[in-house]
Amino acid sequence: MRANRHPSCLSCKVTVGVFHIRLDGIGIYLRFFEEVDAAKKLDFNGRNRVFFEPYMQTRPEEFYTLDYQQQSIRLGIERQQHDEAYVWGVFLRDSDELIGTVSVTEVVRGSLQLGWLGYSLDQAHNGRGLTTAAVQLVLDYAFRVLKLHRIEAGVMPHNIASIRVLEKVGFEKEGLSKKNVRINGKWEDHWHFAILNPSD
């Protein structure tokens, strides 16, 4: 096991073991989901359902069941093992409460070396800079450990808070994707953002 500090993120510590990766920041830590987290994940999604729905693809009712969350975590572990996707839970350091998620999915290797960023944070903890901190931890890991060259993200134009998160961590707006994702039965535009590995 080793612990490293990224020079651009002095408050961050990456602890890596055979079965365990934890990213530490101020007041929070991130780790990959395990099956024992299913109940926490269900509670997190349930209490934020109304808050998240305007920004998420339509979810089936079974999404809000323990069985679905268990299967989702198992699928996430499998995809991680195949270097296809990485999903972290965001936890408060003082209570281990699950308050968010950050993911890098749709990983493509070869000549592209890219992934797609997603994130969500409990409504009760919004406005404290925690999303920005969590996303920065994941970017450091994705560039330094996963060696990705480019990470992309999409945000609806009216989701100002999410756009600010991306801009704070260094993403640049590349253009508008017209009506590219169906949200709550309606095709929505998304601003397309991207960030490059500073070491490349």
Instruction: Report the domain count for the chain.
Output: 1
pLDDT(100) > 70: yes
Range of the domain at 127: 2-196
SS (H, E, C) the chain: CEEECCCCCCCCEEEECCCCEEEECCCEEEEECCHHHHHHHHHHHHHCHHHHHHHCCCCCHHHHCHHHHHHHHHHHHHHHHCCCCEEEEEEECCCCCEEEEEEEEEEECCCCCEEEEEEEECHHHCCCCHHHHHHHHHHHHHHHCCCCCEEEEEECCCCHHHHHHHHHCCCEEEEEEEEEEEECCEEEEEEEEEEECCCC
- Give per-residue pLDDT as tens, 147-200: 999 999 999 999 999 999 999 999 999 999 999 999 888 899 999 999 999 999
What CATH number corresponds to the domain at position 114? 3.40.630.30
pLDDT tens digits along 30-44: 999 999 999 999 999
* Average pLDDT for 14-20: 50
The pTM of the full predicted model, rounded to 2 decimals, is 0.88
